[in-house]
Amino acid sequence: DTEVTQTPKHLVMGMTNKKSLKCEQHMGHRAMYWYKQKAKKPPELMFVYSYEKLSINESVPSRFSPECPNSSLLNLHLHALQPEDSALYLCASSQGRALYYGYTFGSGTRLTVV
């Protein structure tokens, strides 16, 4: 298995809702990442997990809450989002901190906040 699987592919949520995005990989990668991509812009890093511990938070608002329950699974919990949070959310993984191995990205979750 050489894939990063993200679910759901599409999500529409209201500003008072609570939802979660899920990311899974079975490549034995020990670093996992959340990126956010707005339309016609490059991806921007949100969080880095290394060996299931949060190592980087790029000053992301607390309405985004990451979780790494085990080495194969990464969640992003969403609460009280704003319409400007609508974007493509990409999960990625790498064998280490990608110094030598590069990244594998998932197909993303298209999030719309109404």
Among 36, 87, 94, 113, binds other proteins (CB under 8 A): 94
Q: How many CB atoms lie within 10 A of CB 112?
A: 13
Which CB atom, from 69 or from 102, has the smaller least distance to other proteins? 102
Q: Which of positions 71-90 make contact with other proteins (CB under 8 A)?
A: 88, 90
Provide the token pair at 27: 């490549």
Q: Which stretch binds other proteins (CB under 8 A): 11-19, 41-49, 63-71, 72-80?
A: 41-49
Of 13, 45, 60, 80, the one binding other proteins (CB under 8 A) is 45
Dihedral over Cα of 76, 113, 19, 63: its sign: positive
Neighbours of 93 (CB within 10 A): 27
